[in-house]
């Protein structure tokens, strides 16, 4: 499903499958400048940490193109800051903008035209890189799934949340590709219903057996022995292994611990933020109340009643069985395994 993020050379814009309307409509949203890219990020036209990172990389190119003219360098910095601050929790947004900036700074003296050309190629490289990393996550993650498992997942960490294949769903796809029989329980994921709308949409298209469960059915399903593993994605993982994911994930992890069910987080190293020491330091996005008060255009709460709409919560590292990355399955203590994974990657990059 790598077609949901496309760069159009013909139109000179980024095309995003508008996830707000799935599974009923497949509409396309055009990002033509910084404002439209920020709008797409904030309104969930595109969501999922790796997909946000890919979108932000192209957004840097759009910002550079938009800044053309005298004094373009100063305008570009303002646009990049706006883009980087579009959403607070998913660290891949900041990671992508910083990576684009660092690549530019390593090539001083680029004029406007040269920078635009360089950044477009780098954005395309980041796009392809994410596809490759998700396949590796799937390959490593397949080792923690047994033939015949029923896997519960929360939110959507599939192809729609990445450039292709997915992280949590990449683990499931990797197991299926390895010849294992796998069934999936997709928690509906209120209030935006990513599980019901997006995860079920993806898996059904792939022919992978999936059933949607209400979020508050987790305990009953686990108690009845209907869940063998839990695999979720992440929007930011702290240096100690605490993982921020869609609201409700920590509750699923606590239930999994109670019932003795392995709980895995799947994410690329780019989602691990070594500048964030633990989960308490992860900013939690507070979104518009309308996502809770309405389903589509239908209001479901009384006028004047307040709501909570925190978009994420943090699962403590102690509840996580393993973190599946492109470099393998990281195990506790995570402060050590995370540091080792980065050190090994950096050593390999230095040797090239």
Point out the residues that are catalytic. 235
| Cα dihedral 68/72/78/84 (nearest 10) | 60
Q: Annotated binding residue at 179? A: no
Nearest to 93 by CA among 132, 54, 148: 54
Strand partners, 286: 310
Cα–Cα separations (whole angstroms), residue 137 to 96, 130, 131, 143, 171: 19, 10, 10, 10, 6
Q: Annotated binding residue at 98? A: no
- Conformation bin of residue 326: beta by default, left when phi > 0, alpha when psi is -120 to 50: alpha
Q: Annotated binding residue at 51? A: no
Cα–Cα separations (whole angstroms), residue 204 to 15, 92, 174, 196: 24, 28, 16, 11
Q: Annotated binding residue at 49? A: yes
Q: Annotated binding residue at 246? A: yes
Residues 256-290 as b/e (b if ≥16 CB within 10 A, e otherwise) read: bbebebbbbbbbbbbbbbeebeebeebebbebeee
Annotated binding-site residues read 47-49, 87, 194, 245-246
Annotated binding-site residues for substrate read 47-49, 87, 194, 245-246
């Amino acid at each position: 499903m790598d077609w949901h993020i496309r760069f159009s050379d013909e139109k000179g814009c980024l095309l995003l499958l508008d996830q707000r309307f799935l599974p009923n409509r497949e509409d396309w949203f055009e990002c033509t400048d910084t404002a439209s890219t920020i709008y797409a990020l904030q309104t969930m036209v595109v969501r999922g940490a790796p997909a946000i990172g890919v979108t932000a990389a192209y957004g840097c190119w759009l910002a550079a193109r938009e800044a053309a003219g005298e004094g373009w360098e100063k305008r570009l910095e303002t646009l990049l800051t706006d883009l980087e601050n579009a959403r607070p929790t998913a660290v891949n947004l900041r990671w992508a903008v910083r990576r684009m900036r660092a690549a530019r700074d390593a090539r001083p003296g680029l004029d406007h035209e040269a920078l635009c050309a360089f950044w477009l190629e780098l954005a395309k490289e980041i796009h392809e890189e994410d596809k490759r990393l998700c396949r590796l996550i799937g390959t490593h993650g397949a080792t923690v799934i047994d033939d015949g498992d029923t896997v519960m997942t929360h939110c959507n960490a599939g192809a729609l949340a990445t450039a292709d294949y997915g992280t949590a769903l990449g683990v499931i796809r990797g197991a299926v590709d390895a010849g294992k029989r796998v069934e999936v329980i997709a928690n509906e994921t209120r209030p935006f219903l990513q599980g019901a709308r997006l995860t079920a949409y993806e898996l059904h298209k792939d022919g992978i057996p999936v059933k949607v469960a209400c979020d508050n059915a987790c305990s009953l399903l686990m108690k009845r022995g209907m869940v063998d593993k839990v695999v979720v994605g992440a929007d930011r993982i702290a240096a100690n292994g605490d993982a921020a994911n869609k609201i409700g994930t920590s509750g699923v992890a606590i239930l999994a611990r109670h019932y003795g069910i392995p709980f895995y987080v799947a994410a690329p190293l780019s989602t691990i933020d070594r500048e964030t020491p633990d989960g308490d330091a992860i900013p939690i996005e507070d979104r518009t109340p309308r996502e809770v008060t309405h389903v589509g255009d239908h209001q479901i709460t009384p006028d004047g009643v307040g709501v909570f709409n925190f978009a994420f919560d943090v699962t403590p590292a102690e509840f996580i069985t393993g973190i599946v990355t492109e470099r393998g399955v990281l195990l506790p203590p995570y402060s050590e395994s995370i540091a080792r994974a980065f050190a090994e990657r950096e050593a390999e990059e230095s040797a090239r």
